[in-house]
Chain A
Amino acid sequence: MMEIVRFVLTALFLLGALVVLAAGVLGQYRFRLALNRLHASSMCDSLGLLSLMIGLSISADDGWVVVKFALTMVFLWIASPTAGHLIARLETTTNPRLDRDMEVLEK
């Protein structure tokens, strides 16, 4: 019985992660501006991978694997916003027509 509950929970979390990741990829296709696409990809990084790791941690037999997954998530939560900030700064610097698409307060 316990095994079945664990499997169902794992499947739910993994399929939820797939939905979030697919929404992120769909955002890459639907959005025109780079800053909007950055939003979709950051959502993938945080929520998508988090629910994937939770689902995998539920089904993992080895405790150390769960610790390593948690460590990966902590690193990713620090690294992903930093990368997003760098990409946004690159976009605001290199795009000369940025103020045509949105209101730019300070460049």
Chain B
Amino acid sequence: MAQAYHTLYTVVLVALSVLTLLCLERAVRGPGIAERIIAINMICTLTLGMICILALMLSEGYLADIALLYAMIGFLAIVVLCKVYLGVAMEKQEKGDIPK
């Protein structure tokens, strides 16, 4: 039974990593800044799933704590990125580079 669980987790992990690579390609090629941030958010989500699977696959309970921390750090990164680019856009609008 342990072998079956191991195989299942490996299959899901491989599929998740392929999805993450596809998302990374979208983050590089996305035309606007919002598309890139959305792709980064999705990479964060997929990595969270991978950490949770690894917590059971290696039977290390502390990896579940790391998943919680990773969710917090990912949320923080999104908030900071959005605030920074919102500030940049406001500054450009005040200077009149792009119309309101």
Residues of B2-58 whose CB lies within 8 A of A: 4-5, 8, 12, 15-16, 19, 22-23, 26, 32-35, 37-39, 41-42, 45-46, 48-49, 52-53, 55-56
**Size category, B interface:** 35 or more
| B34–A94 touching, CB < 8 Å | yes
| A28–B34 touching, CB < 8 Å | no
Tell me, in angstroms, the Cα distance from A53 to B41 when the chains sit together.
18
Binary contact track A40-67/B, C-beta < 8 Å → 1, others 0 = 0100110011001100100111101100
B positions within 8 Å CB-CB of A? 1, 4-5, 8, 12, 15-16, 19, 22-23, 26, 32-35, 37-39, 41-42, 45-46, 48-49, 52-53, 55-56, 59, 61, 64-65, 67-68, 71-72, 75, 78-79, 82-83, 85-86, 89-90, 98-100
